[in-house]
Amino acid sequence: MDRKQRRTLHRHRFLWRLLQGPIRLIMRLHYGPMRMERAPELEGAYIVLPNHTCGGDQFFVAVAFPRKQMYFVASEHAFRKKLMGALMRWVFGPIPRAKGTLAAGTTKTLLRWLKEGVPICIFPEGNRTWDGRTGPLHPTTAKLLRAAGVPVMTYRIEGGYLSDPRWSKSLRRGKIHGETVNVYSPEELKKMSPEEISARIAEDLWVDAAAGQEKEPVSFRGKRMAEGLEEALFLCPSCGGLGTLRGEGNDFCCTCGLRATYDEFGFLHGDAPFRTVAAWNDWQLRRLPALAAQGITLSDEGAELWKIHEGFREELLAEGRVTLDSAGLRLGPVSFPLGDMGDAELCHLAGRETMVFTVPEGNIELRFRGSPSRRKYQLLLKEFKALGTE
């Protein structure tokens, strides 16, 4: 470690200890009752793997490790705003990664810090949950854990999704709890296959918010509880409309007349045949392959296509009405054939989703000024590409 890196590490360790009290206070004021059980003290470097429930997860983890400063692997989207990105790097030094990948540069940086004895925190899902259930782990995680040669700690957070759903436009105050589940030694990890490691971690981090509420209901009170739900749930079970649903206050409605109410326990009441967001989400995901095979077309106003250059420089390519079908994506004079488009990922930043994908020309983002579901574009694009592969 050179002198500059040593100074940087000393600064981050000092600020980590200094900000523990303010972070804990701010999180309690922001989210309500919070109990993050202190993680066991480990010597040297290790990797922490938490589940990803809400926007405050990294701060919940920080509260659970008051004495041990660590670096977080974070989406490079968090660095797009120059002032905020510079402040984050100066205070916490997060390790940036491109969405949906654990690129060589990211891996090299985190392995370097581990070698220097600094813990690293990785959210192995790579994405916040949409329906309150822990998502699949990134496929490269298990191989990284075996190669790192350090202990691995799993830390499970519950209540975060119900307090701050990814799709929501408002917070709800309830109870959030976190605890260490397991600590795996490097020797244990070496004895397991990548598949076994993934299975063990998935079991440790599994949370089903709706199932938990069925067992022990906890109130999460807020305002405008259903607003934004159309980002997650975009297919109507009554009329089959795609993108015809809207959240208004605590009600979730379709243009066909279907109306459901989202309550303080995270359950739906009314016309919808589903009691939970998870059950509705499962149903719509099962329907998507058939819709793609039928050649459905998505189209919405208020769209923008941006090209992202090195150094996070952005270039507006086109704006207006966007169309996605089995041929590809089009907006004004810009079109991307389906075969040229890489897998799309969704990025959540400042309460909004953007869809990112790669083409031969570089990295592209689809944004909306209004409320159309970005998720429906990402999922339908995946289905169209699957059909093209077949």
Structure confidence by residue, pLDDT tens digits, 22-73: 999 999 999 989 999 999 989 999 999 999 999 999 999 999 999 889 999 8
User: In this structure, are 350 and 280 located in the same domain?
Assistant: no
> Mean pLDDT across the chain, nearest whole number?
91
Biggest CA pair distance of the chain:
66
Supply the CATH number for residue 331's domain: 2.30.29.30
Looking at residue 291, what is its pLDDT? 95
Structure confidence by residue, pLDDT tens digits, 115-148: 999 999 999 998 899 999 999 998 889 999 999 9
What CA–CA distances, in Å, run from 48 to 59, 103, 265, 290? Answer: 13, 19, 30, 40
User: In this structure, are 144 and 260 located in the same domain?
Assistant: no
User: Given a cut of 80, is residue 366 above it in pLDDT?
Assistant: yes
| Adjacency order of strands within the sheet including 259-262 | 245-248, 251-254, 259-262, 268-270
Structure confidence by residue, pLDDT tens digits, 153-198: 999 999 999 999 999 999 999 999 999 999 999 999 999 999 999 9
Kindly give the interhelix angle for 3-31 and 82-91, rounded to the nearest 10 degrees: 110
User: Given a cut of 70, is residue 83 above it in pLDDT?
Assistant: no
Structure confidence by residue, pLDDT tens digits, 219-274: 999 999 999 999 999 999 999 999 999 999 999 999 999 999 999 999 999 999 99
User: In this structure, are 289 and 335 located in the same domain?
Assistant: no
User: In this structure, are 108 and 146 located in the same domain?
Assistant: yes
Domain boundary among 159, 189, 215: 215
CA angle 141, 142, 147 (to 5 degrees): 100
User: In this structure, are 242 and 281 located in the same domain?
Assistant: yes
User: In this structure, are 242 and 356 located in the same domain?
Assistant: no
Ramachandran quadrant class, 141 (left: phi over 0; alpha: psi -120 to 50; beta: rest): alpha
User: Given a cut of 50, is residue 101 above it in pLDDT?
Assistant: no
Domain boundary among 170, 192, 215: 215
What CA–CA distances, in Å, run from 219 to 176, 235, 265? Answer: 11, 27, 5
Higher confidence at residue 383 or residue 353? 383
Structure tokens at 6: 């040593």
Residue among 229, 245, 228, 248 at smallest CA distance from 237: 245
Burial of 286 (0-12, 13-18, 19+ CB in 10 A): exposed
Higher confidence at residue 132 or residue 89? 132
Supply the range of the domain harboring residue 323: 298-389
- 3-state per-residue secondary structure call for 97-108: ECCCCCCHHHHH
Structure tokens at 289: 């392959």
Looking at residue 40, what is its pLDDT? 94
User: In this structure, are 37 and 171 located in the same domain?
Assistant: yes
User: In this structure, are 126 and 40 located in the same domain?
Assistant: yes
User: Given a cut of 70, is residue 339 above it in pLDDT?
Assistant: yes
User: In this structure, are 70 and 156 located in the same domain?
Assistant: yes
Looking at residue 84, what is its pLDDT? 62
Residue among 173, 148, 159, 211 at smallest CA distance from 53: 159
Structure tokens at 320: 């207006």
Burial of 275 (0-12, 13-18, 19+ CB in 10 A): middle
User: In this structure, are 265 and 337 located in the same domain?
Assistant: no
Domain boundary among 293, 317, 342: 293
User: In this structure, are 42 and 190 located in the same domain?
Assistant: yes
Domain count, the chain: 3
User: In this structure, are 198 and 238 located in the same domain?
Assistant: no
What pairs with residue 247 in β-bridges?
252
Residue 192: alpha-carbon gap to chain centroid: 27
Is the distance from CB of 141 to CB of 52 less than 8 angstroms?
Answer: no
Residue at token pair 């030094």 = 93
Is the distance from CB of 251 to CB of 259 less than 8 angstroms?
Answer: yes
Residue among 54, 53, 49, 106 at smallest CA distance from 79: 106
pLDDT classification of 100: cutoffs 50, 70, 90: very low
Structure confidence by residue, pLDDT tens digits, 266-300: 999 999 999 999 999 999 999 999 999 999 999 99
Would you say the pTM of this structure is higher than 0.75? yes
Looking at residue 370, what is its pLDDT? 79
User: Given a cut of 70, is residue 78 above it in pLDDT?
Assistant: no
Structure tokens at 177: 């709890």
Phi, psi of 268 (to 5 degrees): -105, 140
